[in-house]
Amino acid sequence: MRIALLGGTGDIGEGLALRFAHDTDHEILIGSRDPEKARDAVEGYEETLEARGVEASIKGFTNEMATDRADIVVLSVPPYYAGDTVDAVAEKLDADTVLVTPAVGMKGDEDGMHYHPPSAGSVTELVAGRTPDEVPVVGAFHNLAAGELSNLEHDLDLDTIVVGEGAAKDAVTALANEIDGLRALDGGPLANAAEVESITPLVINIARHNEELHDVGVKFQ
């Protein structure tokens, strides 16, 4: 299977790329508006993986080219770019492509980070509203710390909540469960995305105020 990470040169894109490449046999496609930036990122990811004795299939493309080649497309971009990124790649999406969004709307002040959803109710629902009707959208990977994902020396023991419908949600759930130490939990339909996304600023605030929990995540028991 081919997994495209649009904006895959950023923090969350790097973390997911490294974990997918390290723990699965899937082909990883790094997308960027600048293909040279994508290729440079791929070189860095390959060096990190080679240092751990892992040879993975990672390639760099423009976002549009990565989307055109992928089975699952992850919008690993900041929330304020999510809608525009969907618009830019919409012609490359089809009913056989699953679009995944981990983005969360937040704003910060001197007290910490606060949930700041768009008028659609959640970033996940905003993305779904901008995506062609035939393309399934799934929300996942919202509450994961990018630094913890990128640090392959650290063993994960975390949950990720997946929202969506049918076969698309099943595919993303299976993919998430392939990452060592990550457990995917069913959060219901997209209408529940706001509740899932709102956990992220809480996690960040806990990390900010508890030094020993710098890369804190979520585990349900």
Domain chopping of the chain, boundaries: 2-213
Mean pLDDT (whole number) for 76-93 = 96
Strand pairing report for 106-109 and 112-115: antiparallel
User: In which band, very low, low, confident or very high, does the pLDDT at 31 lie, cut at 50, 70 and 90?
Assistant: very high
Q: Which two tokens stand for residue 181?
A: 């130490």
pLDDT at site 22: 97
CATH, range 2-213: 3.40.50.720
Task: Tokens 């790329």: give the residue.
Answer: 17
| Mean pLDDT calculated for residue range 57-62 | 96
Share of the chain above pLDDT 70, in %: 100
Check pLDDT > 90 for residue 14.
yes
Q: Residue 158: pLDDT above 90?
A: yes
Is the pLDDT reported for residue 67 higher than 90? yes
Residue 202 has pLDDT above 90, yes or no: yes
Task: List Cβ neighbours of 70 (8 Å cut-off, separation of 6 or more).
Answer: 2, 3, 4, 29, 97
Residue with tokens 């937040």: 106
Whether the pLDDT of residue 212 is over 90: the answer is no
Residue 72 has pLDDT above 90, yes or no: yes
Residue 201: left (phi > 0), alpha (psi -120 to 50), or beta? Answer: alpha
Binned at pLDDT 50, 70 and 90, residue 138 comes out as: very high
The whole-angstrom separation of Cα 79 and Cα 10 is 13
Q: Cα–Cα distances in Å, from 51 out to 12, 47, 48, 120?
A: 21, 6, 5, 43
pLDDT at 166: 97
189-196 average pLDDT score? 98
